[in-house]
Structure formats: C-alpha cells, structure tokens
Amino acid sequence: MITNSPIQIENEPQSNEIRKSVAQFIPKGHKTYTPTQLVIERASGVYLWNPEGRRFIDFASGVLVANLGHDHPYFEERLRHYAEGIPRTAYNTLTGVEIRAAQRLIENLSADKMQQVLWADSGSAGIIKAIWAAQHYQPDKHIILATQYGFHGKKGQAGDITGEKSSNPNVRWLSFPLVMDNRHYDNPEWSAEVLMPKIAAELDTLKREYPNQICMLVTEPYLGAKGSFHPPKWYLRQLNDWCNENDVVFILDEVQSCHGRTGNMYAFQTYGLDPDLVVLGKGLGNGEPVATIVGRAEILESLDYGEASDTYSGNPRACAAILAVLDTFEKFPIVENCRQMQEMIEAGLYQLIEDFEFATYARGEGLVWGLEVDSYSEKTADEIANECVLQCYLQGLHLMGPLAGNVLRVSPPLVISETEVKAGLELMYQAFEQIANTD
C-alpha cells in the first residue's frame, strides 16, 4: 500500500534522510511506487552506488533508457564533442546539429517510409504529435484504432489510447494476444491458424461499422507496462498489412523498444514491419529528454507552421545526444551483445521458474523480459512481487517496481557483460531463496 510515509531501510542513514526529504518536498504522485526507493549517488556501466557506498547491478536501465549504461566513456566524449558551443535552446531558430541528427536517424532507420523527423520532448508527447499528424493528413476520418492494454502515456490523446477503455468517443479497440510465456508460442491457442481469422474478423467489423472513417491504428511492438507481453510476429504484420490495404496510417510506438532493446536496432526490424510513423524515445538519447516521430513526409508535412512546435522539441543538446548515441552504436557491437545476453537471461529466468513455486511465467526478447510471480505462503501475487524487488535490492540487484502488480521486469543496459548477467541472476536466485526459506 502506498502511503505518505517514506520507506526506511536498515543501515542506510544517508539514504533514509534523502527519502524523508523527498517525501516532504516532492508529492508522491511524481514517483511510481517501489518498495525500495533506491537513492543513487553515482553510476557507472551497469552499476549504481547509494550514499552508503553499496553497489547494485542495474537490471532496470532507469526505465529502458540507459541502453548504453551509465557514464559510458565514448558516449560522454561524443556528447561533449557535439554539444560544445551550441545554444541551450533553439526555439524558432535553426542549428546544424538538429539537421545532422535528423539525417543520421533517417539513415539509421533505413526504410523507405522513414523520410522526415518531427521532434518531441517525451514519449507521450511524441505519440500525441503522431496522432495529430495522422488526423491532419486525413481530416475527414475520425476513428482511432488502438490495441488493448498498451501504454502510450498519461497525457491527452496518448492517455486516450492507453489501456482498454477510453473517454475519447473516437477510440476503438483491437485485441492483443496475451501470450503468457515464451514457451507457449507453439501452443495451438496462439497459432496464426486460430487467431489470425479472429483478428481479421475484428478489423472487418470495424471497417463495416466505420466506412472510410478509420484514420489510424496505433500499437506497440510488445506490451511493456501490461506485464511484458510479446506477440507472435504474424500479429503485427497482419495489422500493418490491413492498414496498407485500407489507407489507414499505421503508427508504431517504439518509445521503449528502440535502439537495440529487442535484439535489433528497431523493433519494426524484429517484427518485419513497414510502419507509416515510428515514435522513438527513451534509449534514443540515452538519458537526455528527447523523443521523435519519424515517417512519411506527406503525413508529417500536413501539420502547418507552429501546429507541432513546443519549447524543447529539437533542443540542440538532445540532438547532440542522438548523434552521440548513434556514434556509440556504430563503434561497438551493442546490438549483437544484446542478442547474446538474451540467451543467458532467458535461461536464468526459466531456472527460477523451475526452482521456485511462486515464479510462473517468463516473457521477452532481446534484453526486455518480464517474470510473472504468483501468490505464495498466504501472500498475494502482488505482495510476492514487491517482496522479490525488496529482497533483490537487499542482495545488491536493482529492479523497478513490479509491472501490472505481479510481473518483475528484467531490462539491464545493453552493454552488460556475460559476467555481469551471471552475477545479476545469481543475486536474483539468492533473493528468491530468501523468500522461499522465510515463507
């Protein structure tokens, strides 16, 4: 239960004072709940240190932001290089760094429809601007299709298409297959032969109910906030094809999946898609607040002067960070490392499932995984999930608070080494043993 009382952890006097101060000066609505409230004094690579000097392995990457880890020496050097002498703001002015960032992104995306870049300062703002662009492009169409259980943000129209219900009268929903476990992909229940006709029927029904009224379809490659549900690849391709056939703008929310997280630089490559608009964020700037919409020029050009402008979009330092990120990905085999570490993470999570009664399902790809836990020893599944986060913390492993109540997200920086993955999984195992032995 979330209260106004700050969390206090034994033998952490300095951290506890900071927790008290945060509770006093910053409202709890600004933070998401976690049973640990880790206080970070410094960070390097995949490690975090609190004021007491305890070291933690970071299995969260912030929130899938620090794909390059913390204080990456090459990234930081390149960021200083690109940021030297540039203005702090460039509202209603032009800078070369903005143009270079846009050109490099388009080249890196390397797809025919990736033609122009529209800046934003957060993922949800990027989603909103993508929706605006699609609406301006097809002003006579008003229906927005969204896949159920997604998370696109809390603000405005991004919030309207989050979840499974909406106060926006123009939003309609499509089913998203909730594959419970990676080992279930071969289950006939999730086969294309069974589900594809069902999805096709939903789309056909919507098309009949709203002839020439469907403007766009917005989806995520996988459901992160819902609990890390990753669909069969045919599913997203089916939606993409339907949009292409029916002149519906296909918007892919890659805010948390871009820049290597799924084992390719972009998730649309992982799933074999050709979206009209892609929204990028989080790992895009490796911690600098930036997001962007990249896609078809005719759609993005439908917005007139000022209709998508805001104070910080296209900020020079954010653009410098994008260039530094791309330089780092080009110099080091980061995406390849992600694919290699995926196998270790997957094996480690399934070992937990085999050895602990309360660990039930594992879902993921690349270095974004969810481990679902169940009730155990008179504690609810949500209570067990919080206990797992706390016990991992006490062992020296940092996890975010549970997703959807009872799912532990495992999403370390993509630069993590085999030795560090092994150490993190061992700490998880020790934490689970503590729970099993105590309860």
DSSP 143-161: EEEEETTB---SSHHHHHT
Q: How much is the pLDDT for 90?
A: 85
Tell me the Ramachandran region of residue 437: left when phi exceeds 0, alpha when psi lies from -120 to 50, beta otherwise: alpha
Walk me through the domains of the chain, giving residue ranges and CATH numbers.
13-64+333-438 (3.90.1150.10), 73-331 (3.40.640.10)
Q: Average pLDDT per run of 10 along the chain, which is 439 residues long?
A: 74 96 92 93 98 98 96 98 94 94 98 98 97 98 98 96 96 96 82 92 98 98 96 96 98 97 98 98 96 98 95 94 98 98 98 98 98 96 98 98 96 98 98 90
- Dihedrals phi, psi of 341, to nearest 5 degrees: -70, -25
DSSP state of 436: H
Environment class of 131 (CB within 10 Å of its CB; exposed 0-12, middle 13-18, buried 19+): buried
Q: Which helix (H) or strand (E) holds 80?
A: helix 73-83
- In Å, how far are 118, 177, 178, 218 from 195, measured between CA atoms? 35, 8, 11, 19
- In Å, how far are 85, 123, 319 from 285, measured between CA atoms? 19, 12, 8
Model pTM score: 0.96
Say how many residues make up the chain: 439
For tokens 């330089």, name the residue.
Answer: 327
Q: How much is the pLDDT for 439?
A: 57
The Cα angle at residue 151 between residues 315 and 143, in degrees rounded to 5 = 95
Q: How much is the pLDDT for 430?
A: 98
Q: How much is the pLDDT for 404?
A: 93
Beta strands in 321-418, from DSSP E residues, in sequence order: 359-365, 368-373, 397-398, 407-410
Q: How much is the pLDDT for 191?
A: 84
Q: Which residues pair with 58 in a beta bridge?
A: 398
**CB atoms < 10 A from the CB of 356, how many?**
18
Per-residue model confidence as pLDDT tens digits over 332-370: 999 999 999 999 999 999 999 999 999 999 999 999 999
Q: Which helix (H) or strand (E) holds 249?
A: strand 249-254
Residue partners of 408: CB distance under 8 A and separation at least 6: 370, 371, 372, 373, 385, 388, 389, 399, 402
Rounded to whole angstroms, the Cα distance separating 44 from 60 reads 14
DSSP 265-330: SSHHHHTT---SEEEE-GGGTTTSS-EEEEE-HHHHTTS-TTTT--SSTT-HHHHHHHHHHHHHHH
Q: What is the CA radius of gyration of the chain?
A: 22
Q: How much is the pLDDT for 184?
A: 81
Q: Which residues pair with 294 in a beta bridge?
A: 117, 278
Residue partners of 5: CB distance under 8 A and separation at least 6: 23
Contact 163, 152 (CB under 8 A): no
